[in-house]
Structure 1
Amino acid sequence: MVVEQAYLRIAGGRESDFEEAFRAARPLLAQARGCTSVELFRDAENPSTYLLRVGWERLEDHLVGFPASDAGKQFAEQVAGFFAGAPEVRHFESTDRSAA
């Protein structure tokens, strides 16, 4: 299992619009092959910044499969216009081997 953490900076004043667009686009991500969870958090100290945390079965599901899929392209079209810069994305693997 891989956890993607994406830090999203949203253009000031567009936070509500982004949240609405994300809610509408969320099923495209949540139903993607290999996606196991989707969570969006708003930064309590900087309300124009969000943390998107997505669980994936394999890294390739996120880096190869989703971006090339129609759903991945639609998701990007619906949310990317709100970004104030490129998302900062990191991927983490579980070190808890008992969960495997």
Structure 2
Amino acid sequence: MITEVARIDVRPGSEEAFEQAVTQAFPVFLAAAGCHGVELHRLVEHPRRYRLVVRWESVEHHTVTFRSSDGFRRWRALAGPHIAAPPEVEHTCMVLSE
């Protein structure tokens, strides 16, 4: 299991519209092969900055399977108009938990 963490900055005044777009996109992520959950976090100190957190079975489920799918194109169509700059995406794997 890996976790995709995407830093997304939205255009000024687009916060509510972006959150609505992500709400519409949640089923797209959840229907994707290898997706085990999705969350959206808004930064308190930077209210135009978000973290999209998606749990994937493998990096390939995100970078190959999802990114080449109609679901990815749907996600981009919904969220893209509100995004100020290309998201910064990293993949993590848990090494410790309590």
Q: TM-score interval w.r.t. the shorter chain?
A: over 0.9
Q: Which amino acid aligns with 1:52?
A: L
Are positions 1:78 and 2:78 aligned together?
yes
- What is the aligned partner in structure 1 of residue 46 from structure 2? 46
Aligned to 2:62: 62
CA RMSD of aligned residues (A): 1.3
Runs of 4+ in 1 over 4 A off after TM superposition: none
Shift of 1:45: 1.0
> What one-letter code is carried by the residue in structure 2 that aligns with 1:36?
H
Can you give the 5+ residue segments of structure 2 that lack an aligned partner in the other structure?
none
TM-score, length-normalised on structure 2?
Answer: 0.93
Q: Secondary structure at the match of 1:13?
A: coil
Q: Which runs of 5+ in 1 are unaligned?
A: none
Q: TM-score, normalised by structure 1?
A: 0.91
1:1-100 aligned at under 5 Å gives the runs 1-95=1-95
